[in-house]
A and B are shown apart, each in its own frame.
Chain A
Amino acid sequence: MNSTLETPSNLLTKNDPNWLIERRSKGLEQFEKLATPTVRDENWRFSRVGKMRTDGYNQLEEADTSRFDLLNERSNLISQRAGRSVFVDDATSIFEGVGTKLAQQGVIFLPILEAITQHSDLMEKYFLQESTELGSQKFFGLHAASVKAGSVIYVPKGVEVIDPIVNYYWTSGECVAVFPHTLIIAEDNAKVSVVDLFFSENVSNEALNISASNIHAGPGAKVFRKIVQNWNQETVSFQLDTTVAERDAQVKNIAVNIGANRARFESQTRIEGAGADVKMYSLTVAEKNQEFDQRTFQTHNANNAVSDLLYKNALLDKSRSIFSGLIKVAEGAQQTDAYQTNRNLLLDPRAEANALPGLEILANDVRCSHGATTGNVDEEELFYIMQRGISRRVAMQLMVFGFFEEIIDLIDNEELAENVRKLIHHKFDAKLS
């Protein structure tokens, strides 16, 4: 099979402005030059790098439009929303804009390629400007060279978008490669909430995902981003996410990870303004031979800011997880509060959770903590629950869902929370016996 990933055939130079042509070719160069990661690389410790094949997939020039109606219909997890996009194999399947009122206030919600045509200056300033430093630079390069699907959300000063903007990214074809991109720019005191959902049309289509997202939260902005990753288990996925928070910005990230065969998740947060407050929550439900490989980086370059990370993983069967997190507090970033917690619930003796928490602190007046716990279901809790007449199976369900609920509860959208519960139930119901 001709592999786009060696030689992307779709350098979209035809309509691209010069700055983008440059960024794409730099990306391609990066992809071609950088070595394929090995486990000897600190950023890839414990990863099954051997399973990270990226060749053999094709980014489609044209998606199969006959799938669109059905997938648009299935893109229904959040009914109250400010806008919706649905992408299928990197083609726009439907795009519902934000409506005239928000548009008049200057809110931009557009597919990436259209935003490049219509708002070239804005895009030049923000698009593809933040890259991961956590090990997948090579793959970010390929993303930059290939990206054509995704949405841009721009909220100007002081404007509040109340309902969420929702992006669905689907794969449908055989051996497709997709490169979704979500770019969120919230100017001073703007407010916006965005949900990205990653789904496969069916359980068997093989796919490669290399997605990227960037949140840019200006002074006093409030950004809430939720991700639900439920690829099928024939998918290899890279999610390369970055957040930049300026003065007094408040950013909340929640990721729910259910799918993919291998899911590499890199999440990087850079605090550039005093008083910023960034929360990072993640919930992962792993089964069979799934691997969830999560790398995080919290950088504090400004004083009096807070970053708080909680990653929870529940592992069934022979699944694995890797959590590697680093907190870095720059010199002068005094009165920093930075926290990092990783909790792993092992539900099978064959499951494996690896935790590598780390701190690098160059300021002297900070409050930082990091910790990881890995354990089985607590037998005393189980006894307590069963003493009330509840069977072992139901008791296990209650405890595991209780473990999840700490994160699901934060989703703050009852419909989405309920849909997430359903997705997880679906994965679990047959397992707990």
Chain B
Amino acid sequence: MNNTLEIKNLNVSIDGQAILKDFSLSIPKGEVHALMGPNGTGKSTLAKVMAGHEDYTVESGDILLDGDSILGQEPDVISHAGLFLAFQYPMEIPGVSIANFIRAARQSRLPEGEQIKAVEYYKDLYAKMDALKIDRSFTARSLNEGFSGGEKKRCEVLQMSMLDPKYCVMDETDSGLDIDALRVVADGVNLMRNQARAFLVITHYQRLLDYIVPDVVHVMYDGRIVHSGDKDLAKELEVKGYDWVKEEFTDAIVGA
């Protein structure tokens, strides 16, 4: 299907242990979906499998961007196909400055032989840094090295806004952010929301969803989505907890 991110009956394991179990999800462009679920249920696994991480074994199923399968592709190819992953734990890359890193990422999107225009690039970079309240002096700092938890997350959103992806997967971008930073990051995301772009927002906190209001909320449990609803589902989940999910929604699956 065009204009959609589709995950179809995905089964994923690592070291013989099943993590994603017949997982399916479909997000059309223009929508924001939230994915919530207890620790260890497979949310980050899903995100990394989508991005082409090679540690995981895909037993069956498929992932399609705009109708084309991205399974088995290299991470850079998937990135060029339009998928961006804001990492739960961004890596520190010593000796590589933010400015050079994002520049290399942009350069990789240009045709062979064409060079980034430095002036335009910096203008754009500074504008986006200002919007995310990241000090301009950060451009010269090594990527994520010695950054606070919140600075790392803001830097993920900076990269996301600089690379103009069609499908944004944000893995707990809100954790580690103080309330002001949360608002700044949410504003950044909301500015990017449009009919040509879809978001999958993984979070533990309904708080984020007050700022980035989702179209659909999914609850994940033991490797699959067990329940979906509108934004009120997140509120209900906050009150009732995952025991409620377990009792209410998993029996049917186990029984099946």
Binding site for B on A (CB under 8 A): 378, 380-381, 383-392, 394-395, 398-399, 401-406, 409
Interface string of B82-117 (1 = CB under 8 A from A): 001101001111111000111011001100000000
Q: List 13 A-B contacts (CB under 8 A).
A: A383-B48, A384-B87, A384-B90, A385-B93, A388-B76, A388-B79, A398-B100, A399-B96, A401-B95, A402-B94, A402-B142, A405-B95, A406-B94
With A and B bound together, what is the CA distance between A147 and B4 in angstroms?
75
B108 and A391: CB pair below 8 A?
Answer: yes
Nearest Cβ in chain B — how far from A394, in angstroms? 6
Residue of A nearest to B53 (CB): A383
With A and B bound together, what is the CA distance between A281 and B54 in angstroms?
37
The answer to whether residues A387 and B85 also contact, given A394-B104, A394-B108 and a CB cut-off of 8 A, is yes
A388 and B93: CB pair below 8 A?
Answer: no
**Which of B51, B93, B142 neighbours the largest number of chain A CB atoms within 10 Å of its CB?**
B93
Nearest Cβ in chain B — how far from A417, in angstroms? 13
On chain B, the residues within 8 Å of A385 by CB distance are: 91, 93, 101
With A and B bound together, what is the CA distance between A390 and B93 in angstroms?
14
On chain B, the residues within 8 Å of A401 by CB distance are: 95-96
Binding site for A on B (CB under 8 A): 48, 51-54, 74-76, 78-80, 84-85, 87, 90-96, 100-102, 104-105, 108-109, 142, 159, 163
With A and B bound together, what is the CA distance between A390 and B53 in angstroms?
14
B105 and A388: CB pair below 8 A?
Answer: yes
Nearest Cβ in chain B — how far from A410, in angstroms? 12
With A and B bound together, what is the CA distance between A66 and B52 in angstroms?
60
The answer to whether residues A399 and B163 also contact, given A388-B105, A389-B108, A391-B76 and a CB cut-off of 8 A, is no
Residue of A nearest to B91 (CB): A384
A386 and B91: CB pair below 8 A?
Answer: no
Nearest Cβ in chain A — how far from B227, in angstroms? 30
6 further A-B pairs in the complex, CB-CB below 8 A; given A391-B108, A405-B94: A383-B75, A387-B52, A388-B76, A392-B74, A395-B76, A404-B95
On chain B, the residues within 8 Å of A399 by CB distance are: 93, 96
With A and B bound together, what is the CA distance between A378 and B92 in angstroms?
11
On chain B, the residues within 8 Å of A404 by CB distance are: 95
Nearest Cβ in chain A — how far from B166, in angstroms? 13
On chain A, the residues within 8 Å of B109 by CB distance are: 389
With A and B bound together, what is the CA distance between A389 and B109 in angstroms?
7
With A and B bound together, what is the CA distance between A319 and B66 in angstroms?
47
The answer to whether residues A398 and B105 also contact, given A384-B91, A387-B79, A392-B74 and a CB cut-off of 8 A, is no
Residue of A nearest to B145 (CB): A402
**Which of B78, B80, B104 neighbours the largest number of chain A CB atoms within 10 Å of its CB?**
B104
B95 and A386: CB pair below 8 A?
Answer: no
With A and B bound together, what is the CA distance between A388 and B162 in angstroms?
10
Nearest Cβ in chain A — how far from B202, in angstroms? 15
Nearest Cβ in chain B — how far from A405, in angstroms? 3
B93 and A398: CB pair below 8 A?
Answer: yes
The answer to whether residues A402 and B163 also contact, given A383-B53, A387-B79 and a CB cut-off of 8 A, is no
A389 and B93: CB pair below 8 A?
Answer: no
On chain B, the residues within 8 Å of A388 by CB distance are: 76, 79, 101-102, 104-105, 108, 159, 163
B87 and A390: CB pair below 8 A?
Answer: no
On chain B, the residues within 8 Å of A386 by CB distance are: 52, 74-76, 79
Nearest Cβ in chain B — how far from A314, in angstroms? 12
On chain B, the residues within 8 Å of A389 by CB distance are: 76, 79-80, 105, 108-109, 163
The answer to whether residues A390 and B90 also contact, given A399-B96, A405-B95 and a CB cut-off of 8 A, is no
On chain B, the residues within 8 Å of A391 by CB distance are: 76, 108
Residue of A nearest to B75 (CB): A386
B75 and A387: CB pair below 8 A?
Answer: yes
With A and B bound together, what is the CA distance between A403 and B95 in angstroms?
6
**Which of A378, A383, A394, A405 neighbours the largest number of chain B CB atoms within 10 Å of its CB?**
A383
